[in-house]
Structure 1
Amino acid sequence: MIEARELTKRYGDKLAVDGLTFTVRPGVVTGFLGPNGAGKSTTMRMILGLDAPTGGTVTVNGRPYREHTAPLHEVGVLLEARSVHPGRSAYNHLLALARSNGISRARVDDVVEAVGLAGAARRRAGRFSLGMGQRLGIATALLGDPRTVILDEPLNGLDTEGIRWVRSLLRGLADEGRTVFVSSHLMNEMALTAQHLIVIGKGRLIADMGMADFIATRGRSVVRVRTTNPVDLTGRLRASDVEVSHDGGETLTVSGLTTDQVGRAAAAAGITLLELTAQQASLEEAFIDLTRDAVEYRAPTAAGATS
């Protein structure tokens, strides 16, 4: 379990993390989301004692990370997969960590096999692809068979098979009763993997809830409509809180109304419907809606871009 209470970090005049309070519980995959610059990496570094908080506290499994006598057995971490000596083989990198932490060689063999590096473990880590480097980083995190696993962007560089493997791995760790805390910008994968979300923006907590509740609360319902008279139906449906987009053919996409409301409006106007389908709001849409005012680094619009 990870518990943060009023966790704060200031760098000079910049308040990077502002009074964060949250709990990451065992048995579920908890996603850690936020726009670039939101304070996610700083928060993870404070959890691990790499940065000292300006204020507040954070504990892992009941105590600050630095107070654990066998930290690899308590917390497995992937913050930077490339933090490996490039001239050392993947196997020897893991073996050195194992020997310095009272972990058996058999465990090294187990994690090498588990992450799919058995055929490449004797190669120098500096020659690894990004995806292979990620697998080595995950192997390092799992080496001590920890109760808590913290992974920052574990899907970077992985192919489709690798992404599916990580998804299964994280769910499996949670099913074993471990605490799993993972940060990623890949919203589609987070929607498939995480069961709970902690969302921050500009260093502040803006959501702490289950995945289904987050999407239901923040995402707008979308209805796909095919009709013989899209222009007239568009005029009937448009309102201040309703968005209607027309593909130029027979199809409309309506945001802000239910299928029942669209159907009744069409019936009242005598407009024939060919299709009326409710579409689930996505995590990406809900996330963008929630963090719209918390984006620190925003790209210019096409009209305002300069060469």
Structure 2
Amino acid sequence: MIEAHALTKRYGERTAVEDLSFTVRPGAVTGFLGPNGAGKSTTMRMILGLDAPSAGRVTVNGRHYADHRAPLHEVGAMLEARAIHTGRSAYHHLLALAVTTGIPRGRVDEVIDIVGLREVARKRAGGFSLGMGQRLGIASALLGDPATLVLDEPVNGLDPEGILWIRNLLRSLAAEGRTVLVSSHLMSEMALTAEHLIVIGRGRLIADTSVEEFVRGAAGSSVRVRTDDAERLRRLLAGPEVTVASETAGVLEVTGLTSDRIGRIAADHAIALAELTPRQASLEQAFMELTRDAVEYQAPPVTDHEGRAA
């Protein structure tokens, strides 16, 4: 378990993390999300004792990281997959970590097989592709068979097969009762992998909830309605908390009403419906909505050749 209490980190006059409190519990993959500059990397560095908090504290399994007698058995981390000796083979990189931390040599072969690097284990890591480097970084994190994993962007550089592999691996590790904290910018992948979310912006907590609750609470949902009597139905559905949009003739996008309620209104007024489909917002849409005011760097809007919004 990872517990942060009023965690704050300042660099001179700049505050990277401010009064941040959260708990990452075992048994579920927890996604750690936020825009660029939100303070995710700083927070993970404080979890691992690489940066000292300016105020507050963070513990892993009840202790500060540095207080664990065998840290690699408690916490496996990958903050930078390329933090390796490029002249060493993957095998000898892992062997050096094992020998210096009291981990049996046999564990090196185990993690090499877990991450699928057996065929290149004796090759120099400096020649690895980005995806192979990610696998080696994950192998390093798993080396001590830790109870807690902290991974920063673990799917970067992986092909579709590799992404599916890491997704299944993380979920299986969580199912074993481990604590798994994963930072990623890939919302579509987080929607498939994570069960819980911690979202921060400008160093402050925005949300600490399940993926389902985050999506439902942030972006709401809509209902797609298709009918030949769209304009009459639009008038019937109108209300102070109801929004009805239409970009295509005969098709309405309704927010603020359930599909059951829309269906009853249509039936009461003898309006035939060709489609009545609830549409749940995506994690990406919810994330963009909730973090809109916490984005540190914003790109200008995309326009066409005449300067109109694209």
Indicate the TM-score class for this superposition, using the shorter chain for normalisation: over 0.9
Question: C-alpha distance in 1, partners of 2:241/2:34?
Answer: 26
Question: C-alpha distance in 2, partners of 1:120/1:92?
Answer: 12
Aligned to 2:186: 186
The 3 A distance-change label for structure 1 pair 194 and 114 is same
Shift of 1:124: 1.4
Structure 1 position 254 matched with structure 2 position 254: yes
Which sits farther off after the overlay, 167-176 or 285-294?
285-294
Shift of 1:249: 4.4
Question: C-alpha distance in 1, partners of 2:62/2:181?
Answer: 16
Within 5 A, what are the aligned runs for 1:63-82? 63-82=63-82
Letter in 1 for 2:281: A
Q: Gaps (5+ residues) in structure 1?
A: none
Which sits farther off after the overlay, 239-248 or 155-164?
239-248
Aligned to 1:24: 24
Answer whether contact 1:90 1:124 (CA < 8 A) is retained.
yes
Question: C-alpha distance in 2, partners of 1:236/1:77?
Answer: 56
Within 5 A, what are the aligned runs for 1:39-188? 39-188=39-188
Shift of 1:101: 0.9
Answer whether contact 1:134 1:157 (CA < 8 A) is retained.
yes
Letter in 1 for 2:171: R
Which sits farther off after the overlay, 88-97 or 278-287?
278-287
The 3 A distance-change label for structure 1 pair 143 and 302 is same
Shift of 1:265: 4.2
Answer whether contact 1:220 1:281 (CA < 8 A) is retained.
yes
Residues 220-241 of structure 1 deviation map (CA, whole Å, 9 limit, x = unaligned): 1111111113344445545564
Aligned to 1:212: 212
Shift of 1:268: 5.4
Shift of 1:161: 1.2
Answer whether contact 1:117 1:135 (CA < 8 A) is retained.
yes
Shift of 1:40: 0.5
Residues 30-73 of structure 1 deviation map (CA, whole Å, 9 limit, x = unaligned): 11111111111000001111111111111111111112221111
Other structure's SS at 2:248 match? coil
Shift of 1:200: 0.8
The 3 A distance-change label for structure 1 pair 299 and 232 is farther
The 3 A distance-change label for structure 1 pair 244 and 85 is farther
Aligned to 1:296: 296
Question: C-alpha distance in 2, partners of 1:90/1:47?
Answer: 26
Question: C-alpha distance in 2, partners of 1:211/1:247?
Answer: 29
Q: TM-score, normalised by structure 2?
A: 0.92
Alignment identity in percent? Answer: 66
Answer whether contact 1:221 1:257 (CA < 8 A) is retained.
no
Question: C-alpha distance in 2, partners of 1:121/1:169?
Answer: 20
Question: C-alpha distance in 1, partners of 2:132/2:256?
Answer: 44
The 3 A distance-change label for structure 1 pair 153 and 57 is same
Letter in 2 for 1:39: G
Q: Gaps (5+ residues) in structure 2?
A: none
Aligned to 1:274: 274
Residues 194-236 of structure 1 deviation map (CA, whole Å, 9 limit, x = unaligned): 1111111111112112222222222311111111133444455
The count of residues paired between Structure 1 and Structure 2 equals 305
Answer whether contact 1:230 1:246 (CA < 8 A) is retained.
no
The 3 A distance-change label for structure 1 pair 172 and 233 is same
Which sits farther off after the overlay, 276-285 or 156-165?
276-285
Other structure's SS at 1:119 match? helix
The 3 A distance-change label for structure 1 pair 162 and 69 is same
